[in-house]
Amino acid sequence: MKREELEAIEAREAAATPGPWETTFFSEDYGAGYGETTFFVKRPDGNMWKIGLANSSEKYVKENSDAEFIAHARQDMPALLAKVKRLNEERDAAVEDLRACVPCKCCKHYDETSHGLHCSICSEKVGNQCSDWEWRGVLT
């Protein structure tokens, strides 16, 4: 995920009403086995917005699941964003360590025909210093 995409998600999260959000519903029984349940997400300030309307048990499960997902996203997103940020920082630090300690064996320019520790690009540089070093990423 690009930094700009992550920053856009963080901006949307920061602009949203603070949580926790919760789900609530109102049911109406029209008799003769017919009724409707309306699902809402409720904010701490008491404001609610309608998520869906169910008039069957199948639709009830779906609308309730959607409402729960939306309500919990308010708490889940900050936790996920913090985790992604921490993992990105760890990855960046690991890449810097690799760049300093194991120059070319982890470089995307390194291949099996390279001799020694340096890739063909580094071998052409004076003093085996590679300014074109790029982490090859996770190999699958």
- List the chain pLDDT tens, one digit each, 140 residues: 788 999 999 999 999 999 999 999 888 888 777 788 999 999 999 999 898 888 888 888 888 899 999 999 999 999 999 999 999 888 888 777 766 665 555 566 666 665 555 566 665 554 555 555 565 666 54
Backbone angles phi, psi at 57, to 5 degrees: -65, -35
First-residue to last-residue Cα distance in the chain:
19
* CA–CA separation, 90 and 102 (whole Å): 17
What is the β-pairing status of strands 34-42 and 48-54? antiparallel
* In the block, residue with structure tokens 């004076």: 126
Residue 109: predicted pLDDT:
62
Whether the ω angle into residue 103 lies within 30 degrees of 0, i.e. cis, is: no
Report the C-alpha dihedral over residues 94, 136, 132, 98, rounded to 10 degrees. 20
pTM above 0.85, yes or no: no
Domain residue ranges in the chain: 3-101, 103-140
pLDDT at 111: 62
> Exposed/middle/buried for 66, CB within 10 Å: 0-12, 13-18, 19+?
middle
